[in-house]
Chain A
Amino acid sequence: MVLQPAERHCGDWSHRRLGPWCSPTGSPAPLSCETGCGEGTWILVCRLLVPTQVSLLSMEEDIDTRKINNSFLRDHSYATEADIISTVEFNHTGELLATGDKGGRVVIFQREQESKNQVHRRGEYNVYSTFQSHEPEFDYLKSLEIEEKINKIRWLPQQNAAYFLLSTNDKTVKLWKVSERDKRPEGYNLKDEEGRLRDPATITTLRVPVLRPMDLMVEATPRRVFANAHTYHINSISVNSDYETYMSADDLRINLWNFEITNQSFNIVDIKPANMEELTEVITAAEFHPHHCNTFVYSSSKGTIRLCDMRAPALCDRHTKFFEEPEDPSNRSFFSEIISSISDVKFSHSGRYIMTRDYLTVKVWDLNMENRPIETYQVHDYLRSKLCSLYENDCIFDKFECVWNGSDSVIMTGSYNNFFRMFDRNTKRDVTLEASRENSKPRAILKPRKVCVGGKRRKDEISVDSLDFSKKILHTAWHPSENIIAVAATNNLYIFQDKVN
């Protein structure tokens, strides 16, 4: 058996003394999950850039990120604001990874197929398809632009050869069909090979067109456009487990759609007060239960989660369950409400738990217990003393997302300075990693990072004051069954995988 570089490294015990990611003391702490990985060390698989650059590079045999580093990295001018990634999502098998950006584009990456010759290449993702999903629009009534930024992408489970995904900006949801074409008909009678019409008088024989193989072409077509149903900005979409309906949530309302019907939707939640001056709470995220097609949750800017059952009244203004943690009086400040605003809510794969992300923490709730979460993880508590500055520069309003791993044993979320954090729910260990270009050697092992709060700063630590708040990791995704993660840092998409794979 040929040892790949990764495996060779695994057999070398010296790396253990360097300290695997989980524990600052250096003792190995394997990532506990059932997908078969033991070591718990993360390596960089590939770093993907803006679509224009990636498509150029994908033609090459060997995507060497080192090459990318040298040729494009140094030139920040290549990255424009339109290239900032705004959402990341694996499909249900993990074969495809979709990203949406501020410029309204969707880029789909496909996992490299396993091949005997280049076993170590498995796990890399290459560009599969790129298309412009949304265009900027202008609301003439309010004299305001409607951003084309893709807020969310959600995949539909695959039911035939084509892939379907929903993508949404602030106002409009679109259903896209992504299909492959690798054959084309040849031998038309009335058209010649270039497509020009032939003069019927010149045709002497008839032939039957045949399908001949062609270079693989991936085309994306918009199959449905669900528009004009939201007065406020859409923040979430969620596909129902019945695969026939989905919901879209904006600041004040949640609508239920049928995939086949684009000209009407059901309004299932409406928290708009009669007098807008009395508005004190908005909807921040919503998601369907993974198995029960009648159940969904939505979170609010006041740090509460409501679980609703659609079998009850049609308008689910009255919740079935109400999750709220009582405020900790010792931590009370001017910013208590703002930092309690939930930016993301996700059901576990099992459907038994929900995870919420507010500004400083990630919380896991048991659906059967409404009065407090069962677990609370501090993401970057050292920011608690900086809330005033963060309020001033608007960072306190950043919306971080959170994700579960495939077995619901590890949760991950992003932070500032291109840091992201993972929490192992079973071992209670956590780690801080960095998605940066400096560590962009292929198969480079990620070193755990630490933020120092006190006076003495150790060698590899970073002090709170030198954190870069413009480098924030808001969007991450975890492969549904393997330990492969996608981390979006501005215009870069990093793909990491667990070393033993």
Chain B
Amino acid sequence: MYTRYMLGKGGKRKFDEHEDGLEGKIVSPSDGPSKVSYTLQRQTIFNISLMKLYNHRPLTEPSLQKTVLINNMLRRIQEELKQEGSLRPAFPASAPPAAAAAAADPLGSSSREAPPAFSQPAPAPCELGGAAALEACLTPASLLEDDDPDTFCTSSPAAPARLAPPALLPPEKDSFSSALDEIEELCPTSTSTEAAEADGPKGDSSSGGPGAPQRPEGLQEGGRPEDPKLMDSLPGNFEITASTGFLTDLTLDDILFADIDTSMYDFDPCTSASGTASKMSPVSADDLLKTLAPYSSQPVAPSQPFKMDLTELDHIMEVLVGS
């Protein structure tokens, strides 16, 4: 019995059809299929809210009350997603929409919340689910070689101990370096310094560490993550996650950053194939307002947006140039 969806929404545990699900009563996220409709509805409302805020070009000043209410809605959804990310829910593999929604869950939230996440018990099925898939694609190369099911499939008690040091590192860096590793795997090239770091110490590596407990479900059940398996799981999941993510991104980027040079996004074929999970996270309105990072979808900590972007840029440049 999974008790990880402690969001306490209340309401009837009723399975609504997809079409009705949007209109049906809000259901408790505790049950599987209802969770799907719940997250689907939440995502829909999130998108609608963004459209309302950014599509509107009135001649007169928009109503402040409406703007504030929509903003509050977006913030609340974002908070919820953050909480869900920190609670480390594992979704059933059989529910792709759930996977999509979960993957749409900002990676940043899980990475940002890395320390608390580690402390959460993850009574886990190492099933491949959305978040799982997400994590999977970000597993550093070092971990892929690490053939230790216990490391990844056990619950956290082991993890925090190992992770204490890594927890100090900025999580984004780790997720980014892991993403880099993925890129490198797909586009073999000269290694960057960061990749080298990531490749270094295995389970205990500072960069690999957070990766492990962060993605216990990232690996197949009890199994060693084999590359092909991983690769196979990637595209499928990425299609789903990418579509959801891109939907959000399209909304934001097309409207908000229409003037920004989008040549950066030409890197996408490479990054998306390798599944830069960062691309998939829906951006909160607040993030948009605060950061002007071209990689707006990257859920960076407010304190170091530019630093991240520069390094990211550098590495991607190197990757591309190298290939």
| Chain A residues at the B interface, C-beta cutoff of 8 Å | 139, 142, 144-147, 170, 232-233, 251-252, 277, 279-282, 284, 301, 329-330, 332-334, 337-338, 341, 385-389, 391-392, 394, 397
B61 A280 Cβ-Cβ under 8 A: no
Q: How does the 8 Å CB contact mask read for B153-197 relative to A, with 1 for contact and 0 for none?
A: 000000000000000000000000000000000000000000000
A388 B25 Cβ-Cβ under 8 A: no
In the complex, chain B residues whose CB is within 8 Å of the CB of A145: 59-60
Q: How does the 8 Å CB contact mask read for B4-37 relative to A, with 1 for contact and 0 for none?
A: 0000011100000000001111100000000000
Q: In the complex, how many angstroms separate the beta carbon of A301 from the nearest chain B beta carbon? A: 5
Does B64 count as interface, using CB distance less than 8 angstroms?
Answer: yes
B42 A334 Cβ-Cβ under 8 A: yes
Does B273 count as interface, using CB distance less than 8 angstroms?
Answer: no
Does B94 count as interface, using CB distance less than 8 angstroms?
Answer: no
A388 B41 Cβ-Cβ under 8 A: yes
Given A329-B10, A385-B23, A334 and B63 contact (CB-CB distance below 8 Å): no
Q: How many residues of B contact A (CB 8 A)?
A: 30
Q: How does the 8 Å CB contact mask read for B42-65 relative to A, with 1 for contact and 0 for none?
A: 101100100010000001110111
In the complex, chain B residues whose CB is within 8 Å of the CB of A391: 45, 48
B10 A282 Cβ-Cβ under 8 A: no
Q: Which of B67-75, B82-90, B242-250, B299-307 contacts A (4 or more CB under 8 A)?
A: B67-75
- Nearest B-chain residue to A390, judged by Cβ: B23
Does B229 count as interface, using CB distance less than 8 angstroms?
Answer: no
A144 B61 Cβ-Cβ under 8 A: yes
24 A-B Cβ contacts within 8 A? A145-B60, A146-B60, A251-B65, A277-B286, A279-B68, A280-B71, A282-B65, A301-B68, A330-B10, A332-B9, A332-B10, A332-B26, A333-B11, A334-B26, A334-B45, A334-B73, A334-B76, A337-B72, A385-B23, A386-B23, A389-B23, A391-B48, A397-B63, A397-B65
B69 A338 Cβ-Cβ under 8 A: yes
Q: In the complex, how many angstroms separate the beta carbon of B20 from the nearest chain A beta carbon? A: 9
Given A233-B61, A251-B65, A389-B23, A338 and B10 contact (CB-CB distance below 8 Å): no
In the complex, chain B residues whose CB is within 8 Å of the CB of A251: 64-65
For the complex with contacts A233-B63, A282-B64, 14 further pairs of A-B residues with Cβ separation under 8 Å are A144-B60, A232-B64, A252-B64, A277-B289, A280-B72, A282-B65, A330-B11, A332-B9, A332-B11, A334-B42, A334-B77, A337-B76, A388-B23, A397-B63
In the complex, chain A residues whose CB is within 8 Å of the CB of B22: 388
- Nearest B-chain residue to A330, judged by Cβ: B10
Complex: how many Å from CA A12 to CA B247? 66
Given A301-B65, A332-B11, A391-B45, A338 and B73 contact (CB-CB distance below 8 Å): yes
In the complex, chain B residues whose CB is within 8 Å of the CB of A333: 11, 25-26
A147 B60 Cβ-Cβ under 8 A: yes
A341 B26 Cβ-Cβ under 8 A: no
- Nearest B-chain residue to A333, judged by Cβ: B26
Partner of A385 from the list B25, B66, B286 (CB cut-off 8 Å) is: B25
Q: In the complex, how many angstroms separate the beta carbon of B167 from the nearest chain A beta carbon? A: 29
A388 B68 Cβ-Cβ under 8 A: no
Partner of A388 from the list B10, B45, B65, B72 (CB cut-off 8 Å) is: B45
Q: How does the 8 Å CB contact mask read for B210-248 relative to A, with 1 for contact and 0 for none?
A: 000000000000000000000000000000000000000
